[in-house]
């Protein structure tokens, strides 16, 4: 018993020592216990919302379900505070020497042709018809999150035309990055407008519900689609902002950008709606499985999703940049390379563009 307790305290000590901010996390988590017991209003009406100014591509879809101000459709299971603490006390020893290759490079900014370049984690810069689209911009180290890769170019040089944000978690929406993107247009989920306005008031914002097409005057189309995930940026806003995924449909290519997501039936449905060439799918943040499975896919899930989407190429993301889960840093890439044929898989080097 003593050994077990001592072992647990030792892990707790390492957990705290590892990052002093985690002390704040523990205090906040304990504070959240009484806060999270807000009584639910019995019998309150379920309603459906969307952006009435946008076109909905799925017939008979009346919008995203919302109840008591919270999105309730396709929510991955919310974890209790006790489960979060149990996970945080589990071993997270990283003994692999893995690090992602990175090329310091900004020459692609002068590129005329369509291209895609990985900037790390879920952030990609995709150029279509001379317009720059950046996904889930997080190019610094947000609170509690140590960055393991450098970025290939200066954030201020990126100057995107469009910012696509799949959901509000800090590793996908980073205020220190967004503040550089003056006058861009942000294409975001329902109810995210206020968060972006507070980060950078010069950004134009369009919100969409699932199966809605953003209204952009371009030779390409962008649609917002489902994901199995959830939202929280503060203790008080759980699932008050929607989450999802994107299709970028260019004259030559159809690109699917999954947000964070568990594996589920939405991939099959999206695969029926679009003829996808490239699927950018998350393959990391899956351990411990008991905690992460509902929110994040492992490489095998990603391969199933790729199959369901009927995509031609998989570009993996959400690994190797931030240490936010317990699997070894190199494991997601090692597994995905084992289970996929080389012609199906394109693991990008950070900073090295590929033409579309
Ligand atoms: Zn997330
Ligand atoms: Zn994430």
For ligand 2, the distance from its centroid to the CA atom of residue 78, given in whole angstroms, is 15
- Cis peptide, bond prior to residue 288, ω within 30 of zero: yes
DSSP for 46-64, please give it: EEEE--TTSEE-STT---E
DSSP for 225-243, please give it: E--SB---SSTT-TTSS--
Of all residues in the chain, what percent carry a pLDDT higher than 90? 73
CB atoms within 10 A of CB 149: 18
Give the pLDDT confidence of 121-139 residue by residue, as tens digits.
999 999 999 999 999 999 9
| pLDDT score for 15 | 38
Counting ligands in written order, the one closest to the CA of 295 is 1
For ligand 1, the distance from its centroid to the CA atom of residue 14, given in whole angstroms, is 25
**Location of structure tokens 């220190």:** 176
Give the pLDDT confidence of 166-199 residue by residue, as tens digits.
999 999 999 999 999 999 999 999 999 999 999 9
pLDDT of residue 4 exceeding 50: no
CATH topology classification for 107-355:
Metallo-beta-lactamase; Chain A (3.60.15)
Give the pLDDT confidence of 297-348 residue by residue, as tens digits.
999 999 999 999 999 999 999 999 998 888 999 999 999 999 999 999 999 9
CA atoms within 13 A on the CB side of 304: 11
Counting ligands in written order, the one closest to the CA of 228 is 1
43-47, 101-105, 158-162, 327-331, range with the lowest pLDDT? 43-47
Beta bridge partner(s), residue 315: 280
Residue ranges of E strands in the chain: 46-49, 55-56, 64-67, 70-71, 115-120, 123-128, 131-135, 162-164, 185-189, 204-208, 212-213, 221-225, 245-249, 254-257, 278-282, 313-317, 354-355
CA distances from 43 to 113, 189, 246 (A): 55, 27, 34
DSSP letter, residue 351: T
| In the chain, domain spans | 1-39, 107-355
| pLDDT score for 86 | 84
pLDDT-derived band at 95, boundaries 50, 70, 90: low
For ligand 1, the distance from its centroid to the CA atom of residue 107, given in whole angstroms, is 31
**Location of structure tokens 């149990």:** 86
Query: CB-based contacts of 182: which residues, under 8 Å, 6+ apart?
Result: 200, 202, 203
Paired tokens of 6: 């001592």
Give the pLDDT confidence of 228-270 residue by residue, as tens digits.
999 999 989 999 999 999 999 999 999 999 999 999 999 999 9
Give the pLDDT confidence of 137-149 residue by residue, as tens digits.
999 998 878 899 9
Give the pLDDT confidence of 51-90 residue by residue, as tens digits.
999 999 999 999 999 999 999 999 987 777 788 888 877 7
For ligand 2, the distance from its centroid to the CA atom of residue 60, given in whole angstroms, is 31
For ligand 2, the distance from its centroid to the CA atom of residue 122, given in whole angstroms, is 7
pLDDT-derived band at 116, boundaries 50, 70, 90: very high
Counting ligands in written order, the one closest to the CA of 243 is 1
For ligand 2, the distance from its centroid to the CA atom of residue 169, given in whole angstroms, is 7
Give the pLDDT confidence of 200-219 residue by residue, as tens digits.
999 999 999 999 999 999 99
For ligand 2, the distance from its centroid to the CA atom of residue 235, given in whole angstroms, is 18
- Are 75 and 83 in contact by the 8 Å Cβ rule? The answer is no
Give the pLDDT confidence of 11-29 residue by residue, as tens digits.
333 333 334 444 445 445 4
Counting ligands in written order, the one closest to the CA of 142 is 2
| Residue 79 φ/ψ, nearest 5 degrees | -85, 150
For ligand 2, the distance from its centroid to the CA atom of residue 131, given in whole angstroms, is 25
Ion ligand 2, residues whose Cβ is below 5 A away = 171, 260
The Cα–Cα gap between 212 and 351 comes to: 31
| pLDDT score for 132 | 98
For ligand 2, the distance from its centroid to the CA atom of residue 347, given in whole angstroms, is 18
């Amino acid at each position: 018993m003593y050994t077990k307790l001592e072992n647990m305290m030792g892990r707790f000590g390492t957990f705290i020592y590892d990052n002093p901010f985690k002390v704040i996390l523990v205090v906040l988590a304990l504070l959240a216990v009484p806060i999270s017991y807000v009584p639910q209003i019995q019998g309150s009406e379920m309603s459906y919302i969307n952006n009435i100014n946008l076109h909905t591509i799925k017939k008979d879809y009346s919008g995203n379900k919302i109840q008591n101000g919270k999105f309730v459709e396709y929510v991955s299971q919310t974890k209790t505070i006790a489960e979060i603490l149990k996970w945080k006390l589990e071993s997270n020893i990283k003994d692999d020497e893995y690090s992602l290759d990175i090329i310091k490079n900004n020459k692609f900014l002068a590129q005329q042709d369509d291209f895609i370049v990985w900037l790390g984690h879920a952030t990609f810069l995709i150029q279509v018809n001379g317009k720059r689209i950046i996904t889930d911009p997080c190019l610094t180290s947000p609170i509690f999150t140590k960055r393991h890769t450098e970025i290939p170019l200066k954030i201020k040089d990126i100057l995107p035309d469009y910012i696509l944000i799949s959901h509000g978690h800090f590793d996908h929406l980073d205020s220190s990055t967004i503040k550089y993107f003056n006058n861009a247009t942000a294409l975001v989920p329902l109810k995210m407008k206020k968060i972006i306005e507070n980060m950078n008031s010069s950004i134009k914002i369009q919100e969409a519900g699932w199966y809605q097409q953003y209204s952009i005057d371009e030779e390409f189309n962008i649609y917002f689609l489902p994901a199995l995930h959830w939202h929280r940026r503060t203790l008080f806003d759980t699932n008050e902002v929607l989450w999802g995924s994107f299709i970028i449909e260019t004259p030559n290519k159809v690109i699917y950008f999954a947000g964070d997501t568990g594996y589920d039936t939405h991939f099959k449905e999206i695969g029926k709606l679009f003829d996808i060439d490239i699927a950018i799918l998350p393959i990391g943040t899956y351990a411990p499985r008991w905690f992460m499975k509902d929110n994040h896919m492992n490489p095998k899930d990603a391969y199933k999703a790729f199959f369901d989407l009927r995509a031609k190429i998989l570009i993996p993301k959400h690994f190797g940049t931030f240490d936010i889960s317990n699997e070894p840093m190199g494991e997601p890439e090692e597994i995905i390379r084992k289970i996929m044929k080389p012609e199906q898989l394109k693991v990008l080097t950070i900073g090295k563009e590929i033409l579309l």
